[in-house]
Amino acid sequence: MSVFTGAGVALVTPMNQDGSVNYEKLAELVEFHIKNSTDAIIICGTTGEASTLSDEEHIECIRYCCEVADKRIPVVAGTGSNCTQSAIDLSVKAVEAGADALLVVTPYYNKCTQNGLKAHYKAIAEAVNVPIIMYNIPGRTGVKIMPETVVSLCEEVSNIVGVKDATGDLSEVADVLGLAKKRGVQVDLYSGNDDQIVPILSLGGKGVISVLSNILPQETHDMTQAYFDKDTEKAADLQLKYCDLIRGLFCEVNPIPVKKAMNLMGMNVGSLRAPLTEMEDVNAAKLEKAMKDVKLI
């Protein structure tokens, strides 16, 4: 069974004015997503600024999110690292904190081989008893999980269940799902790009791990649900409706724009942690226009 189908939110980590994690606001965001039909919460991923959280903050965010969600919605915890042992340690602690599944990014900077990726993911999977979704984002990590590696790991390891694909390459997605179908292997593939939700669903994807869901949770859920309900016209219309907004959300590196958008909407999620900085004025103006066009502000 899939960890989830539909629209999972890549949740931001809200900050207080002094830069500390705002747990009260985090609870509000979890309730907001449950109320607005989000299908899963992905905590401490790229959008959650996991790379600038201390290990203690990282685990506390996961624990607190799981406590508030209280099994009403799956919580997927980001636990990747470029050090295999660090990823194992973080994954074990995340499961102890209540995570229903893990999102594990490829080791960054090291640029390991495909054999290295296999050994990395197998070691993590052996240490935990929850499903693992691999995270393929070569633009950030410098290494790509090749289709053969994705399918082999899902075939060989019972709790490696799929991949979040943020390659931006639909041909790559087709290669993964085509190879999986040919070999009779179940690979749950989630879009890591909000501008490719419907195209990836059409190839057999299970949903999206979405930045857009932070500000349009119901609409992003509805986009995926329409597709599952075979109303492909509605799904496509929603995808196209939010093209400019999605472009605005990625006109600077994520999560800079989405935090700006949430603050413009009065959600008060606070600032970013260095080295991320506030949006440049010209890009902020583009984002604000796109938000006004869809009546978000």
All domains of the chain in start order, with CATH: 6-231 (3.20.20.70)
Share of the chain above pLDDT 90, in %: 100
pLDDT tens-digit profile of 125-177?
Answer: 999 999 999 999 999 999 999 999 999 999 999 999 999 999 999 999 999 99
**pLDDT class for 195, splitting at 50, 70, 90?**
very high
Report the catalytic residues: 135, 164
Q: Evaluate if residue 214 carries a pLDDT over 90.
A: yes
CA dist., res. 293 & res. 90, Å (int): 41
Q: Quote the CA–CA distance of 245 and 242 in Å, as a whole number.
A: 5
